Each structure stands twice: as C-alpha cells, then as structure tokens.
C-alpha cells in the first residue's frame, strides 16, 4: 500500500503542470510580494499630484513605469510557472552617487497633524519605504521559492529595489531631507583597521 501510494505521488508530481510547480511557502510569500507591489504602485499614483519638485516627479514617473513592468512579469511567471514574456530588466538611475556628509541642526521630525503638511520630503520618504519593504519581501520569497523561474525573477528584481531606494535616498540627501552623520576621524580609522585578511584554516581542503 505504501509503495503504491509513493509511486502514485511521484507520478502525479512528474506530470504536474508548471503552473502548479510552487511550494506552500512560495505561494504565500509571492502573494505578499504581489500585494505589496500593488500597494506601492497605488502609493505612487496617489502621491504624484502632490509632488512639487520636477526632479522628484521625474524619479517617481521613471520608477513607476519600471515597477509596473516588474509587477507584471512577476505575476505572469507566478501564474504560469514558466519564463515571463521578457527577462527582468535592470533599473538605471539618472543621478550621481555623491553624498553630502554631516549634520545641520533643524526642527525635530514628528508626525503630521494635517494632510496639508505633505511635502516632497515626506513624499520621497514614503516612496523610499516602498522599496525597502519590497526588497525585504522579495528576498524572503526568493529564499523559500521552489519554482526556479519565480525564484530567478524575484532574485533578479531585488537589486532594482535597492537601486531605486538608493536613488531616492540620494535625492533626499541632496535636498537636505536625509542627513548622513560620520564618526570622528580617529574612530573611523579605528573601525576601518579593526578587521584583517583571513588565512585558510589548516584542516580545510584547498
């Protein structure tokens, strides 16, 4: 009885359509990824009319178009279990990667008391958080994915989340919304010199 059951199970699995080639963890995690993707896209649409700075508006529009395409190919391969209509693309930001360091005293940050307080600093922070959540969700889903196509699409899209988040953080830093403190020169040097190169352990094979 047990052998027959195992043979039937193996036969069923070998004939399983690709659209069903997903583990339970994968299905639930990708469900979260796609739901979060819809939420992020909706957030971009909702916030767009409130953007004042043209540079931020350009970033929002480019990122929205890229995110929409990534959402579609992720949903496509999740539904079919097969390669999507095109491979995952790479997001290219249109900003230099120079950061301004140091802190300038200003007003303490606190939650808004009125919707009228919305500004580009708050908007860019919300957009940045969308990418942070997406990077975390896609990483979690990729670690649990059993379908190789879905895993690859998720894995390849994670650097894009990072790149879009980085672009927004650079914009925030440029505008003074996000400041970057540094350690003292002495402490920085001590931290940089804290780690050395490792030699192979004697008992480990070449």
Torsion of CA 8, 141, 95, 108, to 10 degrees: 170
**pTM of the complete model:** 0.86
Helical packing angle, 24-47 and 148-175, nearest 10°: 30
pLDDT in tens, 112-148: 999 999 999 999 999 999 999 999 999 999 998 999 9
pLDDT in tens, 163-193: 999 999 999 999 999 999 999 999 999 999 9
pLDDT, position 94: 87
Residue with tokens 């860019």: 124
Q: Where are the domains of the chain?
A: 22-91+118-192
* Phi, psi torsion values for 73, nearest 5 degrees: -75, -30
Cα-to-chain-centroid distance, residue 46: 20
SS (H, E, C) 163-187: HHHHHHHHHHHHHCCCCECCCCHHH
129 to 29, 67, 96: CA distances (angstroms): 19, 14, 21
CATH class of 22-91+118-192: mainly alpha
């Amino acid at each position: 009885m047990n052998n027959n059951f195992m043979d039937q199970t193996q036969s069923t699995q070998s004939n399983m359509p690709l659209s069903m080639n997903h583990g339970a963890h994968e299905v639930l995690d990708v469900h979260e990824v796609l739901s979060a993707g819809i939420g992020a896209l909706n957030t971009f649409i909702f916030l767009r009319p409130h953007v004042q700075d043209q540079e931020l508006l350009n970033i929002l529009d480019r990122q929205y178009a890229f995110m929409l395409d990534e959402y579609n190919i992720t949903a496509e391969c999740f539904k079919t279990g097969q390669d999507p209509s095109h491979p995952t693309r790479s997001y290219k930001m249109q900003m230099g990667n120079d950061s301004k360091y140091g802190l300038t005293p200003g007003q303490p940050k606190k939650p808004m008391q009125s919707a009228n307080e919305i500004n580009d600093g708050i908007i860019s922070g919300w957009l940045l958080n969308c990418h942070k959540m997406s990077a975390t969700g896609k990483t979690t889903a990729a670690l649990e994915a059993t379908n190789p196509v879905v895993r690859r699409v998720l894995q390849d899209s994670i650097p894009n989340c990072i790149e879009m988040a980085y672009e927004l953080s650079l914009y925030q830093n440029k505008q003074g919304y996000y400041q970057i403190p540094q350690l003292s020169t002495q402490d920085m040097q001590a931290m940089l010199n804290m780690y050395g190169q490792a030699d192979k352990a004697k008992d480990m094979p070449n």
